[in-house]
Structure 1
Amino acid sequence: MASRLYPEDQKRVEEYLNSPLHKVERKPFKVWWLLMAIIGAVFGLGLLARFLAALVLA
């Protein structure tokens, strides 16, 4: 896709994006941690809902 910027503006954008500020090393994304967190949240909220229902219906 061709850039819609003028060449000098595109050069400034590329310099900004290539600066050391934007070269942060990150850990690899772990899908299993996200999946476990979602399952844990659903399980925890389910238990909370059952507890609150027991309080209301008792």
Structure 2
Amino acid sequence: MDQFRGSDIGEERRLKPEDQAKVDEFCSTGVNSVERKPFKPFRMMLLLIGVTIVFSILSQMVARWSGIY
């Protein structure tokens, strides 16, 4: 158990090799292995503005149709 003691992490291994192999295998499968496109915040902002405009126009049309506005 002495091999896991110590304050310097870089000096000693924190996992046994077989446990590290299991961790590496898990990290390379499932959700973690999917390649994703880079996140584009500008596109999201445009989409948010577009949806807001469409809902605003729709609410104005409903208000006029129902006689509220």
Tell me, yes or no, whether TM beats 0.5: yes
TM-score normalised to structure 2 length: 0.57
Aligned with residue 44 of structure 2, among 16, 28, 34: 34
Question: What does residue 24 of structure 1 align with?
Answer: 34
Judged with a 3 Å threshold, the aligned counterparts in structure 2 of structure 1 residues 36 and 21 are, in CA distance, closer, same or farther, namely closer
TM-score normalised to structure 1 length: 0.65
Q: What is the alpha-carbon root mean square deviation over aligned residues?
A: 2.8
Aligned with residue 56 of structure 2, among 37, 40, 46: 46
Unaligned runs of 5+ in 2: 1-16
Q: What whole-Å deviation, never above 9, does each CA across 1:23-49 have from its counterpart, x for those lacking one? A: 322211111110000000100000000
- Indicate the structure (1 or 2) with the bigger Cα radius of gyration: 2
Tell me how far apart the structure 2 counterparts of residues 57 and 34 of structure 1 sit (CA, whole Å).
Answer: 35
Aligned residue pair count? 52
- Residue identity matched to 1:28: P
Identity of aligned residues (%): 33
Tell me how far apart the structure 1 counterparts of residues 59 and 35 of structure 2 sit (CA, whole Å).
Answer: 40
- 3-state SS of 1:29 partner: coil
